Amino acid sequence: MLHLLKVWFLFLLVPCSIVTNFSWAQDDIVIKGKVVNETGTPIKNASVQIDIHNARTNSGGYFIIKNGNFPAQLTVKSNQYSDFTDILLFPEKWKDTMKVHVVMTGKETQLEEVTINGANKFWVYPRKQANVLDFKLEEDGNILLCCSDEHHYFLRHLNEMGDKVYETSIRKHPKQIRQDCAGKFHLIYNDSIYETSIVGQSVGIFSPSPYHKSIGILDNCSYADDTSIIIRSYMNQKQYLEYQLITKRTKSSKILYVSQDRQKARQLKDYQRENKQTVTEILKESNANHSDKLSNDRYDLQKARERWSTQQFYDLILLKPIYAPLFELNDSLIIFDHPNDSAIVFTKSGVRVRSFPISYQYFRGWKTELIPNIEKTQIYARFERDGITSLRKINLTTGKTEEVVQIKDHIYPEHIQIRKDFIYYVYKDYLDLSMHYIFKQHLTNR
């Protein structure tokens, strides 16, 4: 009788487990789309890819694809038209169907992908023996260059043509040049920070300040003008970001904006719950228990390694700060809140004006980096695949990417900066890894 009860209980459990699996699984969403050209004419036999799923349009330009992973990259290709790319965000709740309308344009007018070739690539500082460590563009076109010649280190001031104007000797092995929210340049070392200034016909360097006291000011000050200053503060394992506007005259402050990655915060809590004990504590427990068998000791060490591996994942992956930077662009302040897929526009006095959606961060190869030009009129999102870097210009009204500039001459460029019609960057010579060179290239084909 007991055996029959077990069989009957097992029979009851099977259908329940099936229902549970279906209720928790992410069902595929049916994506129905139509692909047309600028005149509304359907485009047949166009290649459509959403995530890992592929289809082709019929004679009416229609396609149907099922997909369960969102956000998903949509790519449409056709021989007579430029490639179309976009991001499909999460479908509306309780909706099992999503409709997509794609308008493709001719290759000469659509989102143009520009490949920078050797004809429009220039040395900025062509001295072969000069190892470029870092540089900063100035608004007037001059360049503050940090470099070394053999065993000597310098801050060099270059004009717009890349000619040396004057220089100042510095300590060995600086890490980088940083610009603060007031526009001043700082030379960063592991133990100290030096503020620099152009004094007459030389680069002046002020007395150093301790690194641990000054780096926080450089990191947290996001914007400053004659009337106010905006301070950035991280909390909750850097998954909660707050911008605070402080009025200089009255010293009063207000919260300008708050961003939070709630999903990452939940993951952090889960990992903290799993790692209540550190690896050191586990090893101490293992060493203290001398009466255990050797197999138990090995088991404890294995658990310690597993927890150490989990802790490394926790520190390196989950503790990565959320990326919601603030930039001054076109007489406005814009916060690009990537965790919440939106950009928020403020006046410089802190009045919220509007917001617009952003989704470029879901394209493959997103490097979690935005690069504004020196004129503060345009901003680009950086992407990288197989060492090839591309920059997507962001429309500051719609949030869409308008054009793609691809750099193929040099892989893994560093310290990318943009001024007028040129991209400036540092390139590490793959034949001599000790040498770095600075180049500039046209933003558009010429």
C-alpha–C-alpha distance, residues 327 and 111, integer Å: 24
What is the per-residue burial (b if ≥16 Cβ within 10 Å, else e) of 360-396? Answer: bbbbeebeeebbbbbeeebbbbbbbeeebbbbbbbeb
- Summarize the chain as % helix, strand, coil (round to 5): 20, 45, 35
Helix (H, G, I), strand (E, B) or coil at 227: coil
pLDDT of residue 335: 98
The secondary structure of residue 320, as a DSSP letter, is P
pLDDT of residue 136: 94
Strands 379-385 and 47-50 come out as unpaired
> Are 44 and 143 in a shared domain?
no
> Are 297 and 385 in a shared domain?
no
Asked if residue 13 belongs to a domain, the reply is no
> Are 251 and 287 in a shared domain?
no
C-alpha–C-alpha distance, residues 398 and 330, integer Å: 15
What is the per-residue burial (b if ≥16 Cβ within 10 Å, else e) of 80-113? Answer: ebbebbbbbeeeeeeeeebebebbbeeeeebbee
Give residue 277's Cα distance to chain centre: 33
- CATH number of the domain within which 60 lies: 2.60.40.1120
Structural domains of the chain, count: 3
Asked if residue 9 belongs to a domain, the reply is no
> Are 421 and 346 in a shared domain?
yes
Cis preceding linkage at 15, omega within 30: no
C-alpha–C-alpha distance, residues 249 and 228, integer Å: 8
Residues in the chain: 446
> Are 335 and 378 in a shared domain?
yes
Rg (CA), the chain: 28
Q: What is the pLDDT along the chain (446 residues), one digit of tens a residue?
A: 434 444 433 333 434 333 333 333 356 888 999 999 988 899 999 999 998 899 999 999 999 998 888 888 999 999 888 888 888 887 776 678 888 999 988 764 444 444 444 456 677 877 767 899 999 999 888 999 999 987 899 999 998 888 888 889 999 999 999 999 988 999 999 999 999 988 777 888 999 999 998 998 899 999 999 999 999 999 877 889 999 999 999 999 999 999 998 777 676 666 666 665 444 444 454 455 444 544 555 556 676 666 666 666 656 555 678 999 999 999 999 999 999 999 999 999 999 999 999 999 999 899 999 999 999 999 999 999 888 999 999 999 999 998 889 887 888 999 999 999 899 999 987 766 678 889 999 887 54
pLDDT of residue 230: 97
C-alpha–C-alpha distance, residues 13 and 446, integer Å: 70
Domain that holds residue 106: 26-110
> Are 255 and 342 in a shared domain?
yes
Q: Give pLDDT tens digits for 238-263.
A: 889 999 999 999 999 999 999 998 77
Amino acid letter, 19: V
The DSSP result for 84-148, as a single string, is EEEEE-PPPTT--EEEEEEEE-BTTTSS-EEEE-GGGEEESS--TTEEEEEEEE-TTS-EEEEEE
- CATH number of the domain within which 146 lies: 2.120.10
C-alpha–C-alpha distance, residues 360 and 84, integer Å: 13
Do 360 and 87 touch, CB atoms closer than 8 A? yes
Amino acid letter, 402: E
pLDDT of residue 13: 40
Do 186 and 194 touch, CB atoms closer than 8 A? yes
> Are 191 and 64 in a shared domain?
no
C-alpha–C-alpha distance, residues 169 and 336, integer Å: 39
> Are 329 and 283 in a shared domain?
no
pTM of the model: 0.75
In which order are the strands placed within the sheet that holds 164-169?
A: 130-137, 143-149, 152-158, 164-169
The secondary structure of residue 69, as a DSSP letter, is -
> Are 368 and 420 in a shared domain?
yes
Residue with tokens 């007489």: 331
Q: Which phi and psi angles does 274 have, rounded to 5°?
A: -80, -20
C-alpha–C-alpha distance, residues 106 and 118, integer Å: 26
Asked if residue 149 belongs to a domain, the reply is yes
